[in-house]
Structure 1
Amino acid sequence: MIVFCGYGNSDLTVNVPALPGPGSRVQALGIRRHDGGMGANAATAAARMGADARFAGVVGPDLLSTAFLDGLGAQGVDVAWTSRRGHLTTAVILVTPDGERSVISQDDDVTEEHVAEVVRSLSRAGGGWLYLDGYRFPWAAPLLAGAPALRTVVDMDGCESAEAAEAALSVAEHAIIGRTQAERLIGQGAGAAAVSHRTHLLVTDGAHGWRLHTPAGDTLAGAAIDVRVQDATGAGDCFVGCYLAELERGAEPVDAARFAAVAAGLSCTAPGARAGLPDRAAVAGYLAGGGTP
């Protein structure tokens, strides 16, 4: 079981010829609404890999939230642990023709009390994998430190300070962070941080691949795949969800990272955060074909 406690969004995707600068005005090439959100996207990616994925975010009691949860259920994600005592957040995503994007997002209603209840529920269920994003730190760290039955993966996107990053690393069995953010929050000491916190620290760098730092002090690297990018929205979420799904299946972290990198690359070949999410057969076929989608 993998419980994804994090963002669920209604994404408003606006295709633009170029990202606007201060005071500028651009004409939209297209506007579409998609379901999204870091936690919900990662849960969907894991479910498409065959994992027992459960979304434990917070949405509202409204019809749009119902449709959002129905969409997750149709992808095989269990939504029974989702709270409906808040609201479904909106994200505005600007996407350029080469697939680059900028995101404007809202805070959600995943509170300390909600995370504590999810931790208790997962512990009562016998434990399992728990996904959290970096926006929940540093306050989430004490909640996880007292729950040894949980195996925690933190997507450190959202850690806004070195203190938050330190707190996330202190409780994460696995942590995933983008290269730019790693340089800002951890500096050049990613390998040392993995050893000192006894965690697997996976640094991703988009088209430049990834680097895995292990608790034993080893550093392993892998490449991204070469695809025609339509929209990179949600590629990082896909990576995290598929990485977690492979860990749950018993894969070694380096093999899980290689698998997740293929899935994330394939996810960029369609618009929106979820339309391009591959299933296990697609990723396996790409790997078996020596790099042919």
Structure 2
Amino acid sequence: MIVVVGSMNADLSVRASRLPLPGETVIGSDIDVRPGGKSSNQAAAAARLGATVAMVGAVGDDQYAKILLDSAAAAGVGISDVVTLPGAATGTAMIVVDAAAENTIVVSPGANDQLRPEDLPERLVSDASVLCLALETPIETVLRAAEIAEEAGTTVVLNLSPYREVPPELLRATTVLVVNEHELACLSGASEDVVDGEVAQRVLAAIGITNAVVTLGADGALVVTPGGVTHLAAPRVEAVDTTGSGDAFTGALATGLAEGRSLTDAARLGNATGAYAATRAGAQTSYPSRREAEELLRSAMQASRPA
């Protein structure tokens, strides 16, 4: 079983021809409200792939809470450990998507910021095969969940997003770290995104991480293990909206690990799932079934073989 501890947000999306510059106003489409939140997205992606998934999070008692809970349940995610906070606002994300399918996102945490360590179902976390964590909830809650999992021997997948400095104890409890190019650059202190495998391995080793995945968007992912660095190309697709594609990757990665796959094989499933998600609008509404993800993966692998 996969347990996901973290955020649940309503995504308020607008499409525009391009992203606005600072101080600039651009005209966009009608607003579109869809279920989201990094952790909720990861849970939905894993469940859509057939994993048994439980979500631990917090919502308010407003109209967005029902959208999020209904969507999670429809994907097959267990929601009995989601806390409803009377009087609180459910977390929201304001998203602008441009004509090239790139996006900018601003998150208002709402109830997510009130998820406390005492809200964690310790037995559930201890019994999980994989625990998924991100950084849209209080760091003390994230750390406590990781400590419970570490004590139980549970695999801890930490998505270091949105980026912030974290306690060294959290990194020590992490089995697999997931970062994108920007987050890796933040870790290294570089002024530009870092994509070189040797540099990535050196930066990660400096913080005690030996197993990691660096997601590269359309360029796939770098898988970092003690044995070296492997670049995995992503399936080529026509992107419509990249919102939630990274979360789809992480949910699929967790699914592969829960099934006993190697980190590299789990990342291949993540690549296919993230690429598929980019072909449709929204986050959770764009996620593939296991059949759809594996068909894309097979076709991509066939296309990459020499004639």
TM-score (norm 2): 0.85
Asked whether the equivalents of residues 125 and 131 of structure 2 are also in contact (C-alpha less than 8 Å), the reply is no
Change (3 A) 1:165 1:179: farther
Q: CA deviation at 1:60?
A: 1.5
1:236-275 → structure 2 map (5 Å cutoff): 236-275=246-285
1:150-165 → structure 2 map (5 Å cutoff): 150-161=154-165, 164=166
Q: CA deviation at 1:116?
A: 4.6
| One-letter amino acid of the structure 1 residue matched with residue 51 of structure 2 | A
Matched, 1:3 2:3: yes
Query: Could you tell me how far apart the structure 2 residues matched to 1:142 and 1:76 are?
Result: 26
Aligned residue pairs total 289
- Farther-moved stretch of structure 1 (183-192 vs 93-102): 183-192
Query: Could you tell me how far apart the structure 2 residues matched to 1:221 and 1:291 are?
Result: 14
Q: CA deviation at 1:172?
A: 0.7
Q: Deviations over 1:72-114 (max 9, x none)?
A: 1011111001000243111110000110100011124346863
1:194-213 → structure 2 map (5 Å cutoff): 194=205, 197=208, 199-213=210-224
Q: Deviations over 1:39-88 (max 9, x none)?
A: 11110000011001111110023343123201210111110010002431
User: Can you give the 5+ residue segments of structure 2 that lack an aligned partner in the other structure?
Assistant: none
Asked whether the equivalents of residues 10 and 88 of structure 1 are also in contact (C-alpha less than 8 Å), the reply is yes
Asked whether the equivalents of residues 19 and 98 of structure 2 are also in contact (C-alpha less than 8 Å), the reply is yes
1:70-81 → structure 2 map (5 Å cutoff): 70-81=70-81
Change (3 A) 1:119 1:253: farther
1:12 alignment partner in structure 2? 12
| One-letter amino acid of the structure 2 residue matched with residue 242 of structure 1 | A
1:173 alignment partner in structure 2? 175
- Farther-moved stretch of structure 1 (37-46 vs 100-109): 100-109
Asked whether the equivalents of residues 240 and 280 of structure 2 are also in contact (C-alpha less than 8 Å), the reply is yes
Give the SS at the match of 1:81: strand
Q: Deviations over 1:237-267 (max 9, x none)?
A: 0000000011111111100001110110010
Change (3 A) 1:217 1:198: farther
1:134 alignment partner in structure 2? 135
Asked whether the equivalents of residues 194 and 217 of structure 1 are also in contact (C-alpha less than 8 Å), the reply is no
1:219-238 → structure 2 map (5 Å cutoff): 219-238=229-248
2:83 alignment partner in structure 1? 83
Q: CA deviation at 1:290?
A: 4.2
Change (3 A) 1:87 1:194: farther
Query: Could you tell me how far apart the structure 2 residues matched to 1:290 and 1:232 are?
Result: 19
Query: Could you tell me how far apart the structure 2 residues matched to 1:218 and 1:16 are?
Result: 41
1:46 alignment partner in structure 2? 46
Give the RMSD, CA atoms, in angstroms: 2.4
Q: 1:94 aligns with which of 78, 96, 107?
A: 96
Change (3 A) 1:58 1:138: closer
1:26 alignment partner in structure 2? 26
Q: 1:120 aligns with which of 119, 122, 125?
A: 122
Change (3 A) 1:25 1:138: closer
Q: 1:288 aligns with which of 269, 293, 298?
A: 298
Q: CA deviation at 1:5?
A: 1.1
- Farther-moved stretch of structure 1 (53-62 vs 9-18): 53-62
| One-letter amino acid of the structure 2 residue matched with residue 205 of structure 1 | L
- Farther-moved stretch of structure 1 (228-237 vs 25-34): 25-34
Give the SS at the match of 2:250: helix
Q: CA deviation at 1:287?
A: 2.7
User: Can you give the 5+ residue segments of structure 1 that lack an aligned partner in the other structure?
Assistant: none
Q: Deviations over 1:146-166 (max 9, x none)?
A: 5411321111112313xx174
Asked whether the equivalents of residues 7 and 108 of structure 1 are also in contact (C-alpha less than 8 Å), the reply is no
Q: CA deviation at 1:120?
A: 1.5
Asked whether the equivalents of residues 169 and 199 of structure 1 are also in contact (C-alpha less than 8 Å), the reply is no
Query: Could you tell me how far apart the structure 1 residues matched to 2:209 and 2:232 are?
Result: 21
